[in-house]
């Protein structure tokens, strides 16, 4: 008998007033009992609508069936057929707009907690399964992957499964990309990312850190001199954007990339860390996406008294996941919506002492279909803050584009690649993730890495 | 891990290290930099490439002990290894087509200016070098500069060696004596570069400076190294580190470089104490 409860089982979480002072994971994960109860809500629909909502097409009802049977390792094996990073996706995928949005149970009541079940299964596997690395039979072909973020890791994993000798070249000293630089510990513990990377290494994937492609070696050298038959570029989003308003050069104005990299990759939240971060008391984060939520919650965790999200549209328009907005609100972050910075005010020593903002109202929908924010005349006011974090997007990194002949980019500087295959204007060169789309989600990057792996396999086999 | 094959103390606070990094050595050009981490939890610091040997596969760095990380780095000896060493980053200095150049180095900035002087000299450019130090004890790379220059001027603040005065005094004297240059390349403390640029602007001589702002990744991700150049935001790691000195907002760069001064001073003292305890 299916469990006909209209609500999904809530996620056990750390208390908001405790977690806003630490960096431990907020969501604690389902227990075995809760997982069994939640799995029983799945109706195992024949036409599997949820799978169509998944960028990597995980056989969702099949893995949930295994959970119902109590065969958690079996469930993991079903997920692992389609996803290289289950423990990551179970945590950071926007399931509410993907698989769960298609769930029949969502028509009346809440959809099945697919993401939470995925996370449970992946964590169970990581805790219980003895890691027996299955090294696929080598097929004698070499592929280079640039960037060890979600797109690159997925592409590498898929190719390794098929027997390719894959080398990932990562610019930083640690693999993981946005999973280690951007997404904070409390949302995605770094030990989980490390485990996923170790899993790839156990399959035979070689990860070379400290390798900036375009600088130490170019793509042409990889292909011509080093015998890589194909290259996948998953180099990520790139340089942070600023607003171009007066005062952005003041000390205390960070890009979200810088702030989060200091906190996450460089562990600046730890007492005695070598990499400094200012412990600011009053912080304004500009922007309304997931990255803005992460930055705001990190600022709080670092000990700030007051943290604002400054966003030019309304609460309804916030691009961040609903769950992230709710977490931020519970932890005490103040949302200053319909509000836009016009100037950063500094003290005589060049440090931020306030942000001058102007109130906004929503007008007619613009080209993106969202209502255009318009400034309200004479509505300026100053937010009293000592730190401002700009989280308003990125523009592509120029390094690969400027050192790879014949690689086309669009007017924004993003690499032009076929949506279905990742094929670029250069034969044998594929690309996917934020380097192609501009800043998007982890799972979309993984989806691109996966389809590119399939296309690379076809390209090499048909050569 | 990247092995230190040679270590040399150039003066009491400046150290040279030759590091095994064959891939970087193959590509490095004057003006580019590397980023290193001394140990597992270390911070990432950028250091300009002071020299490279493509055949031996080594890259040379020269650093001043100014903070906790450089202090830790200085405690490594020949045969020890640096945890991370990545590069070459940034755009190489532009040297093509230059016939006569004045290269100006201030303090440890000479370590960055020297490879450029050497490259210019090797390609047949006439090089006049002006180097400045606070006093005689701090002088580095004198012989190297002399070998790469047809004219060489040594300046010290206190007159303990060479001529007494600032590098700008020497440059002004040369310009007033009728010397003309295609370009002045000035590398040293921000305040020195600012005043060199002020002077050369009056004389209408194009001036290139090498900026070393605070950086984290150094690959075009964090945006921490931003500068205002010609009224626009530029990133030293991918757009530089060389910029047209007449366009750089030095006052802003000086203010931004002080962001973590307190933290750095504290970390330096803590690290000093730590090493002190080890000795005891």
Predicted local confidence at residue A132, as pLDDT: 66
A146, A181, A194, A216: best to mutate for the B interface, most B CBs within 10 A: A216
Give pLDDT, residue B139: 93
By DSSP bridging, strand A429-431 and strand A230-233 are parallel
Contact A274 B84 (CB under 8 A): no
- Closest partner residue to B219 (CB to CB) among A212, A274, A275 is A212
Encoded tokens for A105: 């149970």
Q: How far, in Å, CA of A207 to CA of A220, rounded? A: 19
Tell me what the mean pLDDT of segment A419-446 comes to. Answer: 91
What is the average pLDDT across A71-82?
92
Q: Indicate the burial class of A46 (C-beta count within 10 angstroms; 0-12, 13-18, 19 or more).
A: exposed
CB distance A238–B42 less than 8 Å?
no
Report DSSP letters for B114-135, one per residue. Answer: HHHHHHHHHTT-EEEEEEEESS
Q: Mind telling me how many Å the CA of B143 is from chain A's nearest CA?
A: 31
pTM of the model: 0.90
Q: Which residue has the higher pLDDT, A417 or B260?
A: A417
Instruction: Check whether the bond before A46 is cis (ω within 30° of 0).
Output: no
Sequence-ordered alpha helix ranges (H) in chain B:
22-27, 68-74, 110-122, 142-148, 167-176, 190-203, 236-239, 250-257, 261-279
Nearest residue to A38 via CA among A61, A9, A12: A9
∠ Cα B64 B67 B68 (to 5°):
125
Confidence of residue A19 (pLDDT cuts 50, 70, 90): confident
The pLDDT assigned to A133 comes to 64
CB contact under 8 A, B84 and A211: no
Asked if A391 is an interface residue toward chain B (Cβ–Cβ < 8 A), one would say no
Q: A215 and B238: CB-CB below 8 Å? A: no
Residue-wise pLDDT tens digits, A240-257: 999 999 999 999 999 999
pLDDT bracket for residue A214 (50, 70, 90): confident
Q: Is A304's pLDDT higher than 90?
A: yes
Q: What is the pLDDT of residue B47?
A: 94
**Contact call for B219 and A171, based on CB within 8 A:** yes
Check residue A360 and give its pLDDT: 95
State which residue of chain A sits closest to B26, comparing Cα positions.
A216
Which residues of chain B does A396 touch, with a Cβ-Cβ cutoff of 8 Å? none
Please state the rounded mean pLDDT for residues A76-85.
89
Question: In whole numbers, what is the pLDDT of chain A averaged over residues?
Answer: 91
- For the stretch A36-48, pLDDT in tens is 999 999 999 999 9
Q: Smallest Cβ distance to B216: which of A238, A251, A258? A: A258
Listed range (A132-146, A210-224, B165-179, B224-238) with the worst mean pLDDT: A210-224
ipTM of the complex: 0.89
* pLDDT given for residue B280 in this prediction: 65
pLDDT at A134 over 80: no
Chain B CB within 8 Å of residue A262 CB: yes
CB-nearest partner of A398 from B88, B233, B238:
B238
pLDDT digits (tens, 9 = 90+) for B113-133: 999 999 999 999 999 999 999
Scored b (16 or more CB within 10 A) or e, A192-215 reads bbebbbebbeebbbebeebbbbbb
Interchain CB contact of A226 with B (< 8 Å): no
Low-confidence ranges of chain B (pLDDT < 70): 278-280
Judged by CB atoms closer than 8 Å, whether chains meet at B259 and A240 is answered as no
pLDDT per residue as tens digits for the range A249-298: 999 999 999 999 999 889 888 877 888 888 889 999 999 999 999 999 99
Answer whether B217 sits within 8 Å of A276, measured CB to CB: no
């Amino acid at each position: 008998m299916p469990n006909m409860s209209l609500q999904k089982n809530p996620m056990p979480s750390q208390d908001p007033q405790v977690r806003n002072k630490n960096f431990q994971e907020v969501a604690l994960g389902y227990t075995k009992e809760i997982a069994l109860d939640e799995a029983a809500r799945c109706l195992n629909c024949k036409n599997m609508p949820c799978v169509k909502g998944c960028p990597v097409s995980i056989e969702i009802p099949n893995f949930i069936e295994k959970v119902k049977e109590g065969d958690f390792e079996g469930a993991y094996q079903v997920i692992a057929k389609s996803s290289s990073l289950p423990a990551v996706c179970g945590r950071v995928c926007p399931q509410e707009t993907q698989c769960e949005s298609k769930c029949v149970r969502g028509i009346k009541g809440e959809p099945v907690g697919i993401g939470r079940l995925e996370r449970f299964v992946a964590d169970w596997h990581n805790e219980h399964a003895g890691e027996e690395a299955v090294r696929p039979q080598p097929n004698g072909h070499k592929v280079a992957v640039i960037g060890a973020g979600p797109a690159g890791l997925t592409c590498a994993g898929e190719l390794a499964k098929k027997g390719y000798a894959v080398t990932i070249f990562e610019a930083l000293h640690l693999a993981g990309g946005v999973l280690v630089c951007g997404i904070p510990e409390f949302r995605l513990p770094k030990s989980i990312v490390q485990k996923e990377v170790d899993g790839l290494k156990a399959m035979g994937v070689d990860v070379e850190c400290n390798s900036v492609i375009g600088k130490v070696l170019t793509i042409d050298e990889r292909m011509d001199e080093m015998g890589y038959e194909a290259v996948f570029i998953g180099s990520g989003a790139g340089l942070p954007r600023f607003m171009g308003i007066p005062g952005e050069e003041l000390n205390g104005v960070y890009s979200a990339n810088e702030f989060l990299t200091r906190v996450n990759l460089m562990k600046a939240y730890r007492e005695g860390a070598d990499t400094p971060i200012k412990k600011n008391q009053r912080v304004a984060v500009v922007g309304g996406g997931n990255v803005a939520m992460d930055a705001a919650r990190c600022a709080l965790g670092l000990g700030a008294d007051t943290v604002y999200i400054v966003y030019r549209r309304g609460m309804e328009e916030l691009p961040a996941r609903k769950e992230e907005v709710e977490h931020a609100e519970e932890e005490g972050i103040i949302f200053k919506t319909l509000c836009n910075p016009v100037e950063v005010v500094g003290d005589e020593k060049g440090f931020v002492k306030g942000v001058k903002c102007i109130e906004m109202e929503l007008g007619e929908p613009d080209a993106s279909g969202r209502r255009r924010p318009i400034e309200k005349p004479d509505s300026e006011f100053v937010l009293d803050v000592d730190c401002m974090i700009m989280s308003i997007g990125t523009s592509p990194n120029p390094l690969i584009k400027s050192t790879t002949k014949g690689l086309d980019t669009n007017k924004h500087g993003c690499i032009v690649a076929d949506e279905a295959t990742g094929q670029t204007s250069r034969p044998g060169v594929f690309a996917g993730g934020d380097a192609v789309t501009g800043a998007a989600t982890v799972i979309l990057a993984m989806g691109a890495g996966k389809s590119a792996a399939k296309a690379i396999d076809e390209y090499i086999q048909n050569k | 891990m990247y092995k230190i094959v040679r270590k040399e103390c150039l003066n009491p606070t400046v150290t040279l290290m030759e590091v095994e990094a064959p891939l970087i050595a193959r590509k490095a050009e004057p003006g580019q930099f590397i980023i290193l981490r001394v140990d597992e939890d270390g911070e990432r610091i950028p250091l300009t490439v002071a020299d490279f040997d493509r055949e031996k596969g080594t890259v040379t760095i020269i650093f001043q002990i100014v903070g906790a990380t450089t202090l830790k780095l200085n405690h490594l000896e020949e045969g020890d290894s640096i945890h991370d060493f990545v590069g070459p980053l940034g755009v190489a200095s532009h040297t093509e087509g230059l016939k006569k150049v004045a290269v100006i180095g201030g303090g440890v900035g000479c370590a960055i200016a020297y490879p450029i002087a050497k490259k210019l000299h090797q390609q047949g450019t006439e090089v006049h070098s002006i180097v400045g130090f606070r006093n005689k004890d701090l002088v580095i790379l004198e012989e190297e500069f002399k070998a790469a220059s047809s004219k060489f001027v040594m300046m010290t603040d206190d007159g303990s060696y060479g001529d007494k005065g600032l590098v700008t005094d020497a440059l002004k004297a040369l310009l007033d004596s009728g010397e003309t240059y295609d370009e002045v390349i000035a590398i040293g403390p921000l305040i020195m570069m600012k005043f060199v640029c002020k002077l050369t602007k009056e004389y209408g001589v194009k001036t290139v400076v090498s900026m070393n702002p605070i950086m984290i990744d150094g690959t075009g991700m964090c945006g921490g190294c931003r500068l205002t150049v010609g009224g626009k935001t530029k990133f030293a790691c991918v757009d530089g580190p060389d910029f047209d000195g007449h366009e750089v907002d030095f006052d802003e760069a000086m203010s931004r470089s002080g962001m973590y001064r307190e933290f750095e001073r504290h970390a330096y003292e803590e690290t000093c104490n730590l090493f002190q305890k080890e000795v005891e």
